[in-house]
């Protein structure tokens, strides 16, 4: 992507139809890079993110103790192949980086077909797809191939070469804090450790990057912290270095698999009833699109670490089709066609909607709490707009007045009334203009 596109991306309004194309072209730009949980592919990905947002790149040395884990040696790969006896590359890393088991140790060997097959991985049910395999914490090597290609290999002497290195180095991650009026934070976390896989990693990376760009151009109540990290070891490393930040995190979202054409799926935080859980569910329920909500489980992406009992952060996970529920998952079919511009744009907008709700979710105090105020004489009924929804707006006003005792947030009012948050918020704004409502001072401001 050229610098020109980058500049225009910053200028584009969130509701612009071009957003989807820009997100998809950023995914396309990052797609060829061979990423892993450490190494130059990860670094290059962070550098490209850094061309769009002022992300800070942290380098944590190999051997650093992070809770019960240790930052591993850094893995880098230059080339890899399997050649037949005629010198032809029958498996070629240059054609797809998925061909090499991620974190393979260096190797140069001549093998019979039978010996070679012990190091080959394939998917018999999907004979044209290359599987994605990793071996981060066990020293081994291997190649991944389509079953059809594997079946076509004749008896021969094969040369297997993996020109990789596994050496002391660093674990890299990217972090950006977009400061708001409050020091309280919303955490957005995306893993960026998978090689050429689009939905599973690049969709979340692209959406998070564009969200940071958009939020940085707005005035926000919350501060927003964006993390671009290798899965598992990245969030463990970040948490171990940032325990002082943890108390500031009021809400959080892990973004993963957010570019496919499926409806939204939200996995609740371990708490299950955190404000982020309720906000996302409210918006999904009041959208016209199909969606799923799943309870927390200690399996999945980095929410596992953020929601470990020592932190128990209010961090949910937003997906379209969850990992493992689409056959393309962790295969070469999770490619640029599998993610769509519309789906990426839809996720981007849904996230902005979620943040917008959290930003506006305050508790209010009814200044006329003894019986209902007379709304008619204040013109409140008349200013309520179109006839068709006038009744809904009246109900919203009555609900806000009744529940605004300083204890209920607007989301509480929306949930209890069954009305949309937006309608409740408009009613509150209207009542505030008429001097009938005032924001309740919360603990933070006391
Ligand atoms: Zn994955």
User: Domain locations in the chain?
Assistant: 3-71+170-359, 75-167, 362-439
Measured in angstroms, how far is the CA atom of residue 215 from the centroid of ligand 1?
Answer: 27
- The CA 220 to ligand 1 mean position distance, Å, reads 32
From the CB of residue 287, how many other CB atoms can be counted at a distance below 10 Å?
A: 15
- How far does residue 17's CA lie from ligand 1's centre (Å)? 29
pLDDT, mean of residues 431-445: 83
Q: How far, in Å, from the CA of 201 to the mean position of ligand 1?
A: 7
Question: For 3-71+170-359, CATH number?
Answer: 3.40.630.10
Residues near ion ligand 1 (CB < 5 Å) are 200
The residue-averaged pLDDT of 326-347 equals 98
Cα(102) to centroid(ligand 1), Å:
12
119, pLDDT greater than 70? yes
- Between the CA of 302 and the centroid of ligand 1 the distance, in Å, is 11
Rounded to an integer, the average pLDDT of 338-354 is 98
Percent of the chain with pLDDT over 70: 95
Q: What is the whole-number distance in angstroms between the Cα of residue 366 and the centre of ligand 1? A: 49
Tell how far the Cα of 189 is from the centroid of ligand 1, in angstroms.
Answer: 14
- CA 197 – ligand 1 centroid, Å: 8
Percentage of residues of the chain with pLDDT beyond 90: 91
Query: Confidence band (pLDDT; 50, 70, 90) for 385?
Result: low
CA of 216 to the centre of ligand 1 (A): 29
Q: Which of 7-16, 116-125, 198-207 has the lowest mean pLDDT?
A: 7-16
Helix, strand, or coil (residue 394): helix
Question: How far, in Å, from the CA of 180 to the mean position of ligand 1?
Answer: 32
| Nearest-angstrom CA–CA distance, 167 and 191 | 22
Q: What is the mean pLDDT of residues 89-97?
A: 98
Output the average pLDDT for the chain: 94
Going from the Cα of 338 to the center of ligand 1, the distance in angstroms, rounded, reads 15
CATH architecture of 75-167: 3-Layer(bba) Sandwich (3.50)
Distance 92 CA to ligand 1 centre (A): 22
**How far is the C-alpha of 185 from the C-alpha of 183, rounded, in Å?**
6
**What's the pLDDT score for residue 3?**
37
Mean pLDDT calculated for residue range 280-284: 98
Is residue 304 scored above 90 in pLDDT? yes
Q: How far apart are CA 210 and CA 182, in angstroms?
A: 22
The token duo for 399 is 């609900």
Average pLDDT of span 401-422: 98
> Do 193 and 72 touch, CB atoms closer than 8 A?
no
Q: Note whether 79 and 34 are within 8 A (CB).
A: no
Whole-number pLDDT of residue 9: 47
| Mean per-residue pLDDT, 242-270 | 98
Indicate the CATH number of 362-439 among 3.30.70.1150, 1.10.10.10, 3.40.640.10, 3.20.20.10: 1.10.10.10
Q: 331 C-alpha to center of ligand 1: Å?
A: 10
How many whole angstroms from 110 Cα to the centroid of ligand 1? Answer: 32
What is the pLDDT averaged over residues 353-367?
Answer: 98
Q: Identify the residue with better confidence: 9 or 139.
A: 139
168 CA distance to ligand 1 middle (Å): 25
Which residue stretches of 194-317 are H helix?
203-216, 233-241, 275-285, 303-306
Ligand 1 center–CA 343 separation, angstroms: 19
288 alpha carbon – ligand 1 mean position (Å): 29
Measured in Å, residue 217 CA sits from the centre of ligand 1 at 31
What's the gap in Å between 203 CA and the centre of ligand 1? Answer: 12
pLDDT mean over 81-103:
98
Comparing CA positions, the residue from 424, 423, 431 lying closest to residue 367 is: 431
Beta-bridge partner residues of 95:
none
**Residue showing tokens 């040395």:** 61
Ligand 1 centroid distance, CA of 278 (Å):
27
Position 388 confidence tier, pLDDT thresholds 50, 70, 90: low
Q: What is the pLDDT of residues 202-231, one digit of tens each?
A: 999 999 999 999 999 999 999 999 999 999
Residue-wise pLDDT for 40-79, tens only, equals 999 999 999 999 999 999 999 999 999 999 999 999 999 9
Ligand 1 mean position to 42 CA, how many Å? 15
pLDDT of 10 above 70: no
Distance in Å, CA 192 to ligand 1 centroid: 10
Contact between 410 and 357 (Cβ < 8 Å): no
Per-residue pLDDT at 21 exceeds 90:
yes
pLDDT at 131 over 50: yes
CA distances from 90 to 33, 96, 126, 261, 340 (A): 21, 12, 19, 34, 32
pLDDT at 268: 98
Residue given tokens 């007379």 in the structure block: 374
pLDDT band at 445 (very low <50, low <70, confident <90, very high): very low
For the entire predicted model, the pTM comes to 0.95
Instruction: Examine the pLDDT at 393 and tell me if it is beyond 50.
Output: yes
> Would you tell me how many other CB atoms lie within 10 Å of the CB of residue 67?
12
How confident is the model at residue 13, as a pLDDT? Answer: 78
Ligand 1 center from residue 195 Cα (angstroms):
10
Give me the pLDDT at residue 397, please: 96
- Cα(333) to ligand 1 centroid in Å equals 13
pLDDT computed for residue 17 by the predictor: 84
Ligand 1 centroid from CA 259, angstroms: 14
Q: Are the CB atoms for 6 and 52 separated by under 8 Å?
A: yes
Ligand 1 centre distance from Cα of residue 249 (Å): 25
> Does the pLDDT value for residue 443 go beyond 70?
no
Q: Ligand 1: distance of its center to the CA of 35 in Å?
A: 12
pLDDT of residue 5: 39
Query: How far, in Å, is the centroid of ligand 1 from the Cα of 367?
Result: 52
**The pLDDT value given to residue 383:** 54
pLDDT of residue 353: 98
């Amino acid at each position: 992507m050229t610098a020109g596109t980058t500049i225009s991306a910053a200028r584009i309004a969130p509701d612009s139809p071009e957003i989807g194309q820009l997100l998809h072209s950023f995914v396309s730009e990052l797609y060829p890079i061979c990423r892993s949980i450490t190494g130059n592919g990860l670094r290059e990905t962070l550098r490209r993110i850094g061309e769009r947002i002022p992300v800070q790149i942290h380098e944590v040395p190999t051997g650093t103790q992070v809770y019960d884990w240790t930052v591993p040696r850094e893995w880098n790969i230059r080339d890899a192949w399997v050649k037949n006896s005629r010198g032809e590359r029958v498996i070629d890393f240059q054609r797809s980086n998925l061909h090499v088991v991620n974190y393979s140790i260096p190797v140069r060997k001549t093998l019979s077909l039978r010996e070679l097959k012990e190091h080959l991985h394939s998917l018999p049910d999907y004979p044209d797809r290359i599987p994605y395999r990793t071996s981060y914490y066990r020293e081994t090597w291997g190649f991944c191939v389509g079953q059809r290609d594997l079946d076509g290999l004749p008896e021969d002497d094969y040369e297997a070469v993996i020109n990789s290195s596994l050496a002391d180095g660093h674990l890299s991650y990217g972090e950006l804090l977009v400061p708001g009026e409050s020091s309280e934070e919303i955490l957005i976390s995306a893993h960026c450790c998978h090689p050429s896989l689009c939905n599973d990693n690049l969709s979340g990376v692209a959406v998070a990057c564009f969200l940071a760009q958009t939020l940085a151009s707005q005035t926000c109540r919350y501060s927003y912290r964006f993390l671009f990290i290798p899965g598992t070891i990245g969030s463990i490393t970040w948490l171990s270095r940032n325990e002082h930040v943890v108390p500031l995190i009021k809400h959080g979202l892990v973004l993963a698999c957010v570019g496919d054409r499926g409806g939204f799926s939200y996995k609740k935080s371990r708490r299950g009833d955190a404000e982020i859980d309720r906000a996302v569910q409210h918006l999904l329920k009041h959208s016209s699109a199909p969606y799923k909500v799943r309870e927390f489980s200690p399996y999945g992406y980095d929410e596992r670490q953020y929601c470990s009992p020592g932190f128990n952060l209010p961090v949910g996970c937003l997906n379209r089709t969850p990992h493992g529920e689409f056959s393309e998952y962790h295969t070469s079919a999770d490619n640029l066609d599998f993610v769509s511009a519309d789906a990426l744009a839809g996720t981007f907008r849904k996230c902005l909607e979620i943040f917008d709700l959290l930003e506006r979710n305050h508790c209010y105090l009814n200044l006329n709490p003894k019986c209902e105020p007379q709304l008619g004489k204040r013109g409140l009924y008349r200013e309520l707009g179109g006839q068709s929804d006038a009744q809904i707006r009246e109900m919203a006003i009555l609900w806000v007045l009744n529940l605004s005792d300083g204890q209920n947030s607007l989301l509480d009012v929306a949930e209890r009334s069954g009305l949309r948050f937006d309608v409740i918020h408009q009613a509150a704004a209207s009542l505030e203009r008429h001097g009938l409502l005032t924001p309740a001072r919360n603990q933070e401001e006391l």
